[in-house]
A = this chain, B = another copy of it.
Amino acid sequence: MVNGQSNTPLNIMPLPAKAERGEGLLRIDASFRIAFEGYREPRLERASIRIERQVQRQTGLVILHASKSAGLATLQVATDHESKAIQELGEDESYTLDVAPAGAKLHAPNPLGALRGLQTFLQLIAITPDGFGVTAVHIEDRPRFPWRGLMIDSGRHFIPLDVIKRNLDGMEAVKMNVFHWHLSDNQGFRGESRKFPKLHEQGSDGLFYTQEEIRDVIDYARDRGIRVVPEFDMPGHSTAWFAGYPELASGSGPYAIERQWGIFDPAMDPTDEKTYKFLGEFIGEMARLFPDQFFHIGGDEVNGKEWDANPKIQAFKKSHKIKDNAGLQAYFSGRVQDLVAKHKKTPVGWDEVLVPGVPKSIVIQSWRGVDSLAAAAKDGYRGILSNGYYLDLGWSAARHYTMDPLGGPAAALAPAQKQLILGGESCIWSEYVNAENIDSRIWPRNAAIAERLWSPEGTTDVASMYSRLDAESARLEWLGLEHRSFQRTMLQRIAGTWTPSEFDALRALAQALEHEKDYAREASAGTPPTSLTPLNRLVDAVYPESDLARRFSLLVDQFVAANCKDAAQATEIRAQLAEWATIDDRLQGLAQRSHLVREAVPASAALSQAAKIAVDALDSIQKGAPVSADQKKNHVDFLNALEQQAHKSQLTIPELPAFQKLVEAASASGVCAR
C-alpha cells in the first residue's frame, strides 16, 4: 500500500507522504506508555501526558500516569535535536513512524516532527475484535507546504478562550501549524493594550482577551507546534479602534462600535503623523506580546469615502502627488510596513496591499483569487492562499479539497516562484458564527483543507477523503470540539419541547438541510442582521454540509448508474424520501408554539414537497411508466421553485440535485425508462 490507497484504508488525515502496512497488531492497553530518547524538553513531556490522556479518552482505558515508569514503552520517541526557540516558518516537521506488534518507534529530527508523528499514532488507534490496537505500519511523512493555517475572526463575534484552545487542539490533530488570530475589526477590538487601554475598553463591550490570556494561548499553541500570527486590520475595518481613539480616524466622528455587517466608511487618517506615532507604539507593544516573526496588518476593503470627504486628506494627496486612494493606501501600507520592520517583524497583508512599489518582504494573503497569488509570486512576493478556503461560505469539504495553492495559474510558475507560495489558510469570518456554533463551521471540513496543505499533491481521491473525514470528525470530539454535539441542544431550544415524536421531526429537518451558501444571508430581504442578532435560528443550527444529503446523493448516483435495477437501493431511497415527505406535517404543532420553528416552515414545506416529487419519480421508474418531457420539465421547475422557497428560511435543500436526477431518470428520455 502506498499513500493509504488500500482496501482497508488507514484512518490518517492528512494522509502521510508514504505509508506501508506491515503484519500484525500492537495492542493498546492499560500499560500504554510513551518514552523519549535523544533530545528532550519539557514540551515533549507535556505532549506525552496529553497523548496519554487522549488515548484514555479514545479508548476509555485507565492509564495511571504515576505508575508508568516500569516496563517497556509502547511508543518510543527519538528526537535528534531541538527546534527553534521561537517556532519559525519552514522548520523541519518530518517524522518516521514504525509500528510493530512488539512496539512503536517514532523518529523525528526535532520536536515539531515528533508532535506530528504523535498525532498520526493517535489516529491509528482502533477498536478490534481483541481490544484496542494499532495495525503494523511504516510511515514516512513530511508536509508539502510550510504554512498551513486557520484564521479565526474574534472581531465580529468574540470567541472565548476555551473555544480558541479546543480549536488549537483540532489544528494539532490535523497538523496545521499557524493560528492566524483576527483580533480587531469594525465590530470589536479584542486584544488588551496597556499603552492604549481605550482600544479594548471602549471597543469590545467588555469582551476581549487580556495579555495574560493571549500569552496563555501562545504557549498553548507552541506546545502543539503552532505559530500564532496576530492581525490588527488597518486602515479600514477599524471602527472599533475609533470608539476609544477618534483622533485616528479620517472623519469627524463620533464613533461607536459598529453593529452592522458590511464594508464601512471609517478609516485611519493616513496623512496625519500622529496616526503613525500611535501605530508605532501600538505595533511595538504587540510585537513584544506576540513572538512570531510575522505580523498581519490587514489592509482589505477600504472604500475611501472618509478620505474623499476630508479636505485635509485631499490636500495631502495633491501636495504629495498621490493620484488616487489606492496610492494613498499604498503610502499608508508603506509607512506601516516600516513600523513593523522597525520591530523586526515581517508584515502580512490581504491582497489589496499588493500595489506597485510595496516592499518585497510582505507576505500576500490572497482572498480574492488564485490569480493574484500567482501574480504576486511572479513579482517575487511570498504568498498564502485563502481564496477557496473561506469556511463561513458553507462549501462542501469536496469543494475546498479541489482548491490547491499551486493550482490554476500557479501551476505554470517556475520552480523558484512556486517556492514563494508558502501554503494556505482556511478562514472563519464570524458574522454568523459565535461560541456556540463556531466549531461546526470549522470542523470537520477544515480537516480536508489541512490535508490539501500537508499531503502530497496527488492526494485527490474524494471518496477516500470523506471516509477518513468521517473517522476524524468523530475523533475530534474527544478533544472537546462541539461541531456535532452543539446541534441537539440548539434544536431543543428551537423546539422548546422534549417530546421525541415532535423533536425528531425537527432534527430530521435540520439534518437534511444546509444553510445558504456564500453571501446569501447578507443579501436576503428583511431587517439586516447585526452583531446583536441572536444566532439561535435553524439556519444557525444546521451543519454547513449535510452528511445525510451526501450519503443520499451517493445512493441515488449508484442507483441511477445501475439503471435503477437494484431493489434494495430503491427501498432505501424510498424510506428516506417517505420520512422527508412527512416532515412538514409533523412539524406543524411545534410551528404553532415556537417562533423559531415557524420561520423554518417554508423550508420544511419545500423539503416535503420536493421529496414527494422524488417519490413520484421513483414510482414511475419502478412501475415502468416514464413521464413525458413536459412533465419532467414541470417537475424540475417545481424543484427549483422549492429551492427558492427554502431560501425564505435562509436554508438550502442539498438533496435537490439527487431528486432531480431521479426525475430525469424517470422521464421518457431518462436512463431508467423502460
A contacts, CB < 8 Å to B: 30, 58-62, 64-67, 126-131, 205-206, 436, 470-471, 473-474, 477-478, 484-485, 488-490, 492-496, 498-500, 531-536, 540, 547-548, 551, 592-596, 598
Contact = CB atoms under 8 A, between A and B. Distances in A.
Contact of A493 (B58, B128, B470): B58
Contacts of A477: 489, 492
Nearest to A537: B60
Contacts of A128: 593-595
Contact of A473 (B62, B498, B533, B592): B498
Nearest to A437: B60
5 contacts: A59-B534, A60-B534, A61-B534, A62-B533, A128-B593
A532 B62 contact: yes
Contacts of A596: 127
A65 B206 contact: yes
Nearest to A473: B498
B489 A30 contact: no
A30 B129 contact: no
A568 to B, nearest CB: 12
A593 B535 CA distance: 41
Nearest to A594: B127
A490 B490 CA distance: 21
Interface-central residue, A535, A548, A594, by most chain B CB under 10 Å: A594
Contact of A60 (B130, B436, B473, B593): B436
Nearest to A472: B498
B127 A535 contact: no
A64 B532 contact: yes
Given A498-B471, A500-B551, A536-B59, A64 B205 contact: yes
Nearest to A495: B127
How many copies of this kind of chain does the complex include?
A: 2
B494 A474 contact: no
Given A60-B436, A66-B206, A30 B493 contact: no
Given A62-B531, A127-B494, A128-B595, 10 more contacts: A30-B532, A59-B493, A60-B436, A61-B534, A66-B206, A128-B594, A129-B598, A474-B489, A474-B492, A485-B488
A283 B536 CA distance: 51
Contacts of A547: 500
A355 to B, nearest CB: 38
10 closest cross-chain pairs (CB), A and B: A60-B536, A127-B496, A470-B498, A66-B206, A127-B594, A60-B534, A62-B532, A474-B492, A474-B498, A61-B534
A437 to B, nearest CB: 10
A596 B128 CA distance: 9
A533 B470 CA distance: 29
A535 B60 contact: yes
Nearest to A548: B500
Given A205-B64, A489-B478, A496 B532 contact: no
Contacts of A496: 126-127
Nearest to A592: B129
Contacts of A127: 493-496, 593-596
Contacts of A548: 500
A594 to B, nearest CB: 5
B62 A534 contact: yes
A481 to B, nearest CB: 11
A448 B664 CA distance: 56
Nearest to A500: B551
A532 B494 CA distance: 42
A246 B45 CA distance: 33
A542 to B, nearest CB: 14
Interface-central residue, A59, A126, A474, A540, by most chain B CB under 10 Å: A474
A206 B63 CA distance: 12
Nearest to A467: B498
Contacts of A598: 129
A501 to B, nearest CB: 9
A438 to B, nearest CB: 14
A529 to B, nearest CB: 11
A360 B324 CA distance: 91
Given A59-B534, A500-B551, A551-B500, A595 B205 contact: no
A191 B477 CA distance: 31
Contacts of A593: 127-129
A486 to B, nearest CB: 10
A130 B595 contact: yes
A598 B127 CA distance: 12
Contacts of A533: 62
A613 to B, nearest CB: 25
A141 B237 CA distance: 52
A474 B499 CA distance: 11
